Structure 1
Amino acid sequence: MELRDAAAMGLACLDLTNLNDDCTEEDVFALCERALTPHGNTAAVCIWPRFVKAARSKLRTTGVRVATVVNFPSGMEAIEGVIDMTRQAVADGADEIDLVVPYPLLMEGQTHQITAATARVKEAAGQARVKTILETGVLGEAELIRAAAEEALEGGADFLKTSTGKVSVNATLQAARILLEAIRDSGDPVGLKPAGGIRTTEDAAAYLDLCAEIMGEDWVSPTTFRIGASGVLSAFLATLDGNAAPTVGSGY
């Protein structure tokens, strides 16, 4: 894919993210402002649950969706608390719930826990989309990543998301390929969200090309593909403006 086309598509499919531990309401308002660009708006902002109401008030008429995280980042919080947080986030105006599934249990050989957690959060979320975070960089082995994907799909996930962005290995093309193949083989209308470590237009283009290879040229849209990132927005805008890419740092 041409870089300018990748930047335009990447921008439209971007979940502009601030999940920093020191995030403030002012930071969230600034994030919401960044989501509204001269080249179009991002798909969503992704923020902590305590900021959903503030983000919704800022973005109400823009078409930018509000996403938040639950069971984050460990995947091992008590399920009743996760359900309560999901319901509160939706009541506050969240359009999308990014759920960290209990992937450590799968690594311990406990099957179907991801399916059960996904199904319960999906029910609690109502009309909100549920993106299941599988933490593929920790799962590591292709067989475990595929098993996690299949369990999340069985539980009714709307998206498969690679990572929290809080571990040493986050989104990779290898993991994304496994998730896309699981989506393709399921036949379900489920999306993909690579997250963490995507910092350049070239990075985004590689994922877009992978989607085209496995799912078809016309598959990618904001309803089927998201990028979880913060710094990559500057790269997209530079590409679209015809400028040199900015220096990027580490982080989500």
Structure 2
Amino acid sequence: MTETLDKDVRKSAAARALPMVDLTNLNADCSHADIDVLCERAHTPHGRVGAICIWPRFVAHAHKVLTARARGKVIPIATVVNFPGGTDLQEMTVLETATCIRDGADEIDLVIPYGAFKAGDEEAASKLVRAIAQQCAGKALLKVIIETGELGSDELIRKASHMAIEAGANFIKTSTGKVPINATPHAAEIMIQAIADSGKPVGFKPAGGVKTVEDTATYLAIADRIMGPDWAAPKTFRFGASGVLDDLLAALDGDEAATSGGY
């Protein structure tokens, strides 16, 4: 996205971004052993990530592992519902959400029915977000994925952002990471501006394709410009990523860039 930053700037940018990472494993072949590794990686020599983000079937296991591993505050567990296609029945998504919260999820990343939304059925998306917001109220943070790459147009991204905010989202999130076009700075600009226009305490999460310190710095610069330099923090800003952690840690160690593949 941007030119490589010099070593000192990379280190500073990485220190800022690390506690905002939702360290993710949403691979189809994810196993309990992979979750054990993820939970361990979430506790880095430079501090903890913002959350882990995993499939619903692993929430109870991760909760047990993280609780046993915790020294003080347990790292939050985020999980995904109506994921990735946004096509599950509302009743199924409500039940899945309730089950995830019961199993120990602290954050719910909900995919809207973006295909229906794009076709003009905004009410279906709004009803779903409201229903899940009701399930989450007082129990879990709700992050609403609008799938910007599939919506396509600036107007639809703007509309979906405002819809999610009005329906009760605590965060709005760009993408599932499972489509050809995921997070982009352009989509981030539209979504963060929607948050600013709403005047509500809603956070933002770019997800998919965030792989380097420079990527994180690009998104945080957009947030700083629109919302002010003190706005972006773990309670208002997260990165959905599996591949960025290695580069953040390399920068904090003063090493050369060390990127890996992934979400």
TM-score range, shorter chain: over 0.9
How do residues 63-78 of structure 1 correspond to structure 2 at under 5 angstroms?
63-78=74-89
The answer (yes or no) to whether the contact 2:81–2:93 under 8 Å persists in 1 is yes
In structure 1, what is the Cα distance between the partners aligned to 2:235 and 2:141?
10
In structure 1, what is the Cα distance between the partners aligned to 2:11 and 2:115?
39
Q: CA deviation at 1:124?
A: 1.2
Cα deviation digits, residues 66-116 of structure 1 (max 9, x gap): 000000001110010000000000000000000001111111111222221
> Is 1:196 the counterpart of 2:217 in the alignment?
no
In structure 1, what is the Cα distance between the partners aligned to 2:116 and 2:131?
17
Which of these residues, 84, 92, 95, is aligned with residue 81 of structure 1? 92
Aligned to 2:102: 91
Which of these residues, 15, 30, 39, is aligned with residue 46 of structure 2? 39
Aligned to 2:149: 137
Q: CA deviation at 1:120?
A: 0.2
In structure 1, what is the Cα distance between the partners aligned to 2:126 and 2:234?
25
Where does the alignment leave 5 or more consecutive residues of structure 2 unmatched? none
Where does the alignment leave 5 or more consecutive residues of structure 1 unmatched? none
In structure 1, what is the Cα distance between the partners aligned to 2:60 and 2:106?
11
What SS class does the counterpart of residue 112 from structure 1 fall into? helix
User: AA paired with 1:103?
Assistant: Y
4+ residue segments displaced more than 6 Å? none
Q: CA deviation at 1:247?
A: 4.1
What SS class does the counterpart of residue 169 from structure 1 fall into? coil
Identity %: 51
How do residues 50-61 of structure 1 correspond to structure 2 at under 5 angstroms?
50-60=57-67, 61=70
In structure 1, what is the Cα distance between the partners aligned to 2:170 and 2:54?
19
What SS class does the counterpart of residue 122 from structure 2 fall into? coil
Q: How many residues matched?
A: 251
Which of these residues, 167, 177, 186, is aligned with residue 174 of structure 1? 186
> Is 1:113 the counterpart of 2:120 in the alignment?
no
Return the TM-score normalized by structure 1: 0.97
Aligned to 1:241: 253
What root-mean-square deviation, in Å, do the aligned CA atoms of Structure 1 and Structure 2 show?
A: 1.1
Aligned to 1:209: 221
Aligned to 2:19: 12
User: AA paired with 2:208?
Assistant: G
The answer (yes or no) to whether the contact 1:115–1:153 under 8 Å persists in 2 is no
Q: CA deviation at 1:63?
A: 2.7
In structure 2, what is the Cα distance between the partners aligned to 1:115 and 1:58?
35
Higher mean alpha-carbon deviation, 3-12 vs 165-174, is at 3-12
The answer (yes or no) to whether the contact 1:44–1:64 under 8 Å persists in 2 is yes
> Is 1:123 the counterpart of 2:134 in the alignment?
yes
